[in-house]
Amino acid sequence: MATAPHPLSIPNFRAYLAARLAATLAQYGMILIIGWQTYNIARESMGPAAGAAQLGFIGLFQFLPLFLLTPLVGWVADHVDRRNVARATVALQTLCAAGLAAFTWADAMTLPVLFTVAVLLGIARAFNGPALSALAPNLVPRDVLPNAIALSSIAWQAGMIIGPAIGGYAYVWMPAGSYIASTILFLAALLALSLIGPVERSPIETGRHPIRQIIDGLHYVVRNKLVLGAITLDLFAVLLAGATALFPIYARDILQVGAPGLSQLAAAPAAGAAITALYFSFRPLKTEVGPKMLGAVIIFGMATIVFGLSRWIPLSLTALFVAGAADMFSVYIRQSLIQLHTPDDKRGRVAAVSLLTISASNELGEAESGFLAALVGPVAAVVGGGVGAILVTLLWWRWFPELRRAKTFDPPDEYLKKESRT
């Protein structure tokens, strides 16, 4: 019997992986500095509470386009060439990064400019996420799909956590440096996407109305309790415990370490995520995946509590390192379960729902953190979020037994055939 090829031996998949990593690094490096500039511009004329609220608006403006467009973008990812959707959205993000670099270079940055770009980024990412997530399984044979999905998830999560570190250090080097770096990374992603040749995919359903097909995708998520549990765990746990949006407040007002300290805060979870990703690249997880995922989220919540209470920068960095490692561990499992328990003809729509929850936990989480910090203070907001993440995980252990019973990633072929027919 012939040995199945490794995903990295497939040129289309290598190009895809490079594009996803570069684009995610660029996105999250840019988002960190958007938050830093927003808070500093606001603090020139506002108090800490009002400045924190402006961080909330940045997160909200990124989330709203995705929330409103989710039903449409999933259908687009299932019916339009996913490569072209990804290329168009990366091109839009390239223009956003270049525009922010120009405004920063000219020392002309304002809150309206930052809010406008936040909306454009929300639109671009709404279409980009489902298209890229659903494209990966089309690039490799079925028998190496679990490994390919794991690599794709690792690239996305590593970029999401390492990107802010790159953005922070580039900003210390030069105020426009982060946006310049993001522009270059987006261009690299666009080049990599252009190298992906034609790919096979499941037949596109044309017999029913698009609205009916959109509803079917949402219905599938609700009906499949393992997929629903995995998606909503990220929504509520990270929504509550996300501290990234408050890094500018901690760097400036609590730990008092300034822009260099902001870079260190961003780098700490990146290091934890990178080491975890490296480990999984050599030792893929194969057993007891559900219980291990739930345990990782609890550790993430505990580390968030320690960070929130800390006033000593080495302890803060250690807590963030652990949080980044636990987050990578959890997302690696969660995204693999979602992809492998979803038929290809529904992956775009399910990926859109998954992206909505990820954006809710990240961008809406930033809004929640900013507004809550304005009401009760940043420390109470972070600590309360960590406690909430632990409680949510315990509830999901009870409410979604499918998660704790998940022993491996790969469902039986008969399962996917059955689900694809329903």
Report the CATH number that the domain containing residue 139 is assigned in CATH: 1.20.1250.20
pLDDT of residue 214: 54
Mean pLDDT for the chain overall: 82
In a domain, 78, yes or no: yes
In a domain, 159, yes or no: yes
In a domain, 376, yes or no: yes
pLDDT of residue 65: 83
Per-residue pLDDT tens over the stretch 127-152: 887 788 778 778 888 777 767 776 77
> Token match 């746990």: residue?
237
Residue 258's SS3 state is helix
Could you tell me where the DSSP H helices lie in 195-257? 210-223, 225-241, 247-249
Distance, CA of 304 to CA of 302 (rounded, Å): 5
Q: Where are the extended beta strands (E) located within 92-211?
A: none
Q: Which residues contact 38 (CB under 8 A, 6 or more apart)?
A: 54, 55, 58, 111, 114, 248
Distance, CA of 122 to CA of 126 (rounded, Å): 6
In a domain, 166, yes or no: yes
Q: Which residues contact 162 (CB under 8 A, 6 or more apart)?
A: 25, 270, 273, 274
Per-residue pLDDT tens over the stretch 217-241: 666 766 777 878 887 887 777 677 6
In a domain, 203, yes or no: no
In a domain, 2, yes or no: no
What percentage of the chain reaches a pLDDT higher than 70? Answer: 82
Per-residue pLDDT tens over the stretch 292-334: 999 999 999 999 999 999 999 999 999 999 998 998 888 778 8
pLDDT of residue 386: 92
Give the pLDDT band (50/70/90) at residue 55. Answer: confident
> Token match 């599938």: residue?
220
pLDDT of residue 298: 95
More confident residue, 183 or 75: 183
Query: pTM here?
Result: 0.69
Domain extent, residue 31, equals 9-198+209-421
Is residue 380 scored above 70 in pLDDT?
Answer: yes
> How many structural domains compose the chain?
1
In a domain, 161, yes or no: yes
pLDDT of residue 408: 79
pLDDT of residue 414: 46
In a domain, 204, yes or no: no
Q: Which residues contact 381 (CB under 8 A, 6 or more apart)?
A: 246, 308, 369, 372, 373
Q: Which residues contact 142 (CB under 8 A, 6 or more apart)?
A: none
